[in-house]
């Protein structure tokens, strides 16, 4: 195929696309963009598969615009799987939409260091207080949980705070850091490297390895951030994560 | 004191590994598990365990261990590692029953990277997220979520090994054939010439290789436009290509998602064989369809099954692939 044709093929691709990853995984791509409605489709298919009891599915994992499906081809062949998925899609995903739970997460803005917050303020032409106010007035949606255990990737960052990531990741970003990068947000579940900007820190733990439910957030959950004082952050530090949940799905 | 295998002088990257995790990727938990599943299965078969029982995985050499139990049957596989009991060479690919206080040394092998030490009955350690596999980077599973250090004592399920004859197996012949891959999911991000190079050129394993990924040296794989994709799911075997154009084969401990285009996926049945290649080794790839890959996977699983069914016999056979 000529290269130009190949390029055109991707642009004109008809979604969803079914793309194998080797012998036992399939990516269902819904679009080539980051968009809440696209992600809602990903989550809806995820949900539809979960309730279908389709035999041979090992696990599914949503991301921005694609659902990864790991399956056992000895039980469910590739063609059978695609047929089954087309069936689920034809039934319509609207009724499967994931409402998610709603959370208000306390954030000590400027902790553990003010540096990134000031950098974001300068780069976006806002005051420090504006950045805090913009960030804490939006509602975010958990697009998916990935990369590290319990790490929620959040959509819904107001455009005023969109900022390219750093060219190089920095090591040792602390647990609880509330970060932004590109058009997204995240909450750091355990010390990790990141090229994003940290606006503050929450006393809440997104990953609690020994808890009954180790992963606080699920795809589809809705999150708001609330600025707190150092004293308040200290007082909240011991509370179970569930106490910050406003409503069940 | 409970029966244990004590780490006297373990090498740096000895971890507990089994068949890996299923069902936790959606929460960001990596798959993990043995880099070379076939070798772990053979080690387990030699000591009478099921194929995916947790054993110790080591890199290049295993170091020094002490048996603190009335008896403990062990087997080492993965390569022709020099195995010594109280200084006496006994060799790999066989089971050996060790007595209280005996010392086990596992030295290097010329033909492998990853070695496996299985103990009869397995290790008495807890599962985390359905598996005993260690993911060191996130502290999940295995022994306190980390590689073993001197002084660690791994509890044994059996204080006394079953009274059975020891077993041997011929070291499996490792094929030199190209590694099979399925193109995509983002093969359309690459120039035609790069797709052709992927399945025709020689690549070399570099020193940048660990349980997360192997970086390969070879022809630069050129992106048609961007080397960023919208971050999506990856699997062990995904060949991810960052802006440098150098292929990165993702391995068992890779994170659940990635932001670089994935030109292809090495098939499950060839990934363990690839993992056993040392830095400097030349490797090449051949494309198969997903359907062909599934037939190859069935054959691989059948081989694992035959090994498991051979347990009763003192001399095991590994069917050729």
Domains in chain B, ordered, with CATH?
4-169 (no CATH), 179-288 (2.40.100.10)
Contacts of B285 (CB under 8 A, 6+ apart): B178, B179, B180, B181, B198, B199, B203, B264, B266
* A158: closest CA of chain B, how far (Å): 19
CA distance B242 to A86: 32
B233/A68 touch (CB, cutoff 8 Å), yes or no = yes
Q: What are phi and psi of B192, to 5 degrees?
A: -50, -40
Maximum Cα–Cα distance across chain B: 64
CA distance A210 to A212: 7
pLDDT in tens, A107-153: 999 999 999 999 999 999 999 999 999 999 999 999 999 999 999 99
Which residues of chain B are within 8 Å of residue A62 when distances are taken between CB atoms? 26
What is the interface pTM, i.e. ipTM, of the complex? 0.95
Instruction: Report pLDDT for B226.
Output: 83
* A128: closest CA of chain B, how far (Å): 30
Specify the residue for token string 């790999």. B92
A 108-167 residues with CB below 8 A of B? 144-151, 153
Residue in chain B closest to A149 (alpha carbons) equals: B28
CA distance A236 to B45: 52
Strands B315-316 and B168-169: parallel
Find the mean pLDDT for residues B92-105: 97
Residue B188: CA count within 13 A, CB half-sphere:
15
Which residues of chain B are within 8 Å of residue A19 when distances are taken between CB atoms? 184-185
Give the 3-state secondary structure of residue A56. coil
CA distance B32 to B138: 11
Find the mean pLDDT for residues B141-151: 98
Give me the residue spans of the domains in chain A: 3-96, 102-247
Q: b or e along A128-138 (b: 16 or more beta carbons within 10 Å of the residue's beta carbon)? A: beebbebbbeb
A23/B256 touch (CB, cutoff 8 Å), yes or no = no
Say which CATH class A3-96 falls into.
Answer: alpha beta
Interface check A64 vs B, CB under 8 A: yes
B188/A189 touch (CB, cutoff 8 Å), yes or no = no
pTM above threshold 0.80: yes
Q: For residue B244, how many other CB atoms are within 10 A of its CB? A: 12
Total residues belonging to chain B: 321
Say which CATH class A102-247 falls into.
Answer: mainly beta
Q: For residue B200, how many other CB atoms are within 10 A of its CB? A: 12
Q: For residue A92, how many other CB atoms are within 10 A of its CB? A: 10
Find which of B223, B290, B293 to mutate to test the A interface (most A CBs within 10 Å of its CB): B290
* A121: closest CA of chain B, how far (Å): 26
pLDDT < 70 stretches in chain A: 1-12, 94-95, 249
């Amino acid at each position: 195929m000529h290269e130009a044709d190949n390029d055109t093929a991707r642009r004109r691709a008809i979604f969803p696309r079914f793309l194998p990853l080797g012998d036992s995984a399939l990516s269902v791509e819904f679009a080539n963009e980051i968009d809440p409605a696209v992600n809602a489709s990903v989550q809806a298919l995820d949900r539809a598969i979960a309730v279908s009891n389709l035999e041979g599915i090992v696990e599914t994992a949503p991301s921005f615009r694609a659902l990864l499906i790991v399956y056992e081809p000895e039980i469910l062949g590739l063609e059978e799987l695609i047929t089954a998925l087309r069936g689920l899609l034809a039934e319509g995903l609207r009724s499967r939409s994931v409402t998610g739970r709603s959370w208000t997460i306390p954030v000590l803005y400027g902790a553990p260091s003010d540096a990134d917050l000031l950098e974001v303020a300068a780069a976006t032409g806002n005051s420090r207080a504006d950045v805090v106010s913009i960030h804490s007035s939006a509602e975010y949606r958990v697009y998916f949980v990935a990369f590290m255990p319990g790490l929620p990737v959040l959509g819904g960052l107001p455009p005023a705070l969109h900022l390219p990531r750093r060219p190089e990741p920095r090591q040792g970003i602390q647990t609880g850091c509330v970060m932004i990068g590109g058009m997204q947000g995240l909450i750091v579940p355990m010390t990790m490297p990141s090229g994003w900007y940290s606006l503050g820190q929450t006393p809440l733990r997104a990953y609690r390895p020994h808890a009954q439910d180790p992963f606080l957030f699920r795809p589809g959950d809705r999150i708001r951030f609330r600025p707190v004082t150092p004293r308040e952050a200290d007082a909240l530090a011991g509370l179970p994560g569930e106490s910050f949940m406003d409503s069940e799905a | 004191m409970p029966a244990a295998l004590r780490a006297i002088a373990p090498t740096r990257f000895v971890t507990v590994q089994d068949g890996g995790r299923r069902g936790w990727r959606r929460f960001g938990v990596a798959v993990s598990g043995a880099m070379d599943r076939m070798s772990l299965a053979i080690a387990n078969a030699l000591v009478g365990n099921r194929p995916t029982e947790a054993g110790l995985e080591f890199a290049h050499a295993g170091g020094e261990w002490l048996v603190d139990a009335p008896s403990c049957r062990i087997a080492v596989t993965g390569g022709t590692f020099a195995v010594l009991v109280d200084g006496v060479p006994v060799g790999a690919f066989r089971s050996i029953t060790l007595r209280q206080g005996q010392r086990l040394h596992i030295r290097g092998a010329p033909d492998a990277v990853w070695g496996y030490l299985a103990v009869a009955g397995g290790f008495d350690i807890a599962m985390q997220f359905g598996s005993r596999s260690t993911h060191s980077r996130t502290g999940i599973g295995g022994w306190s979520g980390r590689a073993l250090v001197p002084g660690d004592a791994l509890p044994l399920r059996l204080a006394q090994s079953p009274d059975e004859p020891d077993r041997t197996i011929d070291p499996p012949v490792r094929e030199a054939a190209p590694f099979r891959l399925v193109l995509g999911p983002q093969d359309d991000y690459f120039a035609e010439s790069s797709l052709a190079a992927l399945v025709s050129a020689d690549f070399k394993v570099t020193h940048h290789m660990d349980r997360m990924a192997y970086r390969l040296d070879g022809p630069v794989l050129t992106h048609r436009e961007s080397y960023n994709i919208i971050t999506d799911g990856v699997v062990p075997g995904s060949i991810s290509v960052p802006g440098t154009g150098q292929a990165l084969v993702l391995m068992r401990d890779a994170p659940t998602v990635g932001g670089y285009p994935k030109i292809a996926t090495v098939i499950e049945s060839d990934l363990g064989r690839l993992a056993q290649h040392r830095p400097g080794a030349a490797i090449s790839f051949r494309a198969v369809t997903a359907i062909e890959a599934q037939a190859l996977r069935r054959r691989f699983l059948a081989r694992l099954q035959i090994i498991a069914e051979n347990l009763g016999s003192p001399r095991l056979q590994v069917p050729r692939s």
